[in-house]
Amino acid sequence: MRSTRLVMGMPVTVEVVDACEPSLIDEIFAYFDAVDRRFSTYKADSEISAINRGEIAADDFSDAMKEVLALAATTRRETDGYFDERTPSGAIDPSGIVKGWAIRNAAAMLRAAGCRNFYVDAGGDIQSCGENAEGRPWRVGIRNPFDMRQIVKVIAPQGRGVATSGTYVRGQHIYNPHAPGAPIDDILSLTVLGSDVLEADRFATAAFAMGADGIGFIATRPDLEGYVIRRDGHATMTNGFDAYVVTS
């Protein structure tokens, strides 16, 4: 079964190769919808919006909110502040970590239902498991930021999570928190492989905010691999990334 729906302001695709109840796909999308209703800063009735209005005390945050904010604080420390869940205005916006967290949880729901071969893609951040419908390892394409019709690399994640940060689709929306207002203009795309999609996602945005130095940061993390495309057209990968590249 495969279904793509617009949730959390982005296309979300869930494909399950194993035989499963049709309602399982609906449960997964209902979960993503619930995450959006809790964490969206664009919804006035979301929990995060209420928190930013000062209407909910910290002790009364939901367990999900406490978990995400704890992950955000940990990521901020691990990235020397290049990941920051607070906006320049002081509002809390954990959206840079929520997507990977939600995909990881959706994958856990599928595993709990007995699925062993599946693929979850939310806005280009991906968690796959097992094999596709053709009995082959799942493959993920990295788009050419200069021409999105082209794929510059194809990787087989081998069960690892994939997250890509960039400005070539949404324009400048990632900034260096240590230089407020300064755009990231030396790189266009950074793809990160992590032990799962949450690990990939929570470091991808921070590493992109570091600009050209981000790939070096990824290389220092033994659990991460990365591939960056610079504005001048050159690409650099970490030492272990090539092991995931499909050559034929």
Q: First CA to last CA across the chain, in angstroms?
A: 27
Q: The domain that contains 50 carries what CATH number?
A: 3.10.520.10
Provide the residue range defining the domain that includes 27.
Answer: 2-244
Q: Are 69 and 98 in contact (CB under 8 A)?
A: no
pLDDT in tens, 91-103: 999 988 999 999 9
The list of the chain residues with pLDDT below 70 reads 167-175, 181, 248
Distances in whole angstroms, Cα of residue 116 to Cα of each of 7, 32, 188:
24, 20, 34
The pLDDT, as a whole number, for residue 183 is 74
At 179 the pLDDT is 72
Number of domains in the chain: 1
The average confidence (pLDDT) of the chain is 93
- Residue 3 to residue 25: CA distance in whole angstroms: 8
Tens digits of residue pLDDT in 105-130: 999 999 999 999 999 999 999 999 99
Q: How many helices (H) and strands (E) does the chain have?
A: 6, 10
Strand order in the sheet with 2-7: 2-7, 10-16, 118-122, 125-129, 161-166, 187-194, 225-230, 235-237
The reported pLDDT for the residue numbered 88 is 82
DSSP reduced 3-state for 111: helix
Retrieve residue 207's tokens: 């590493």
Query: Helix or strand or coil: residue 114?
Result: coil
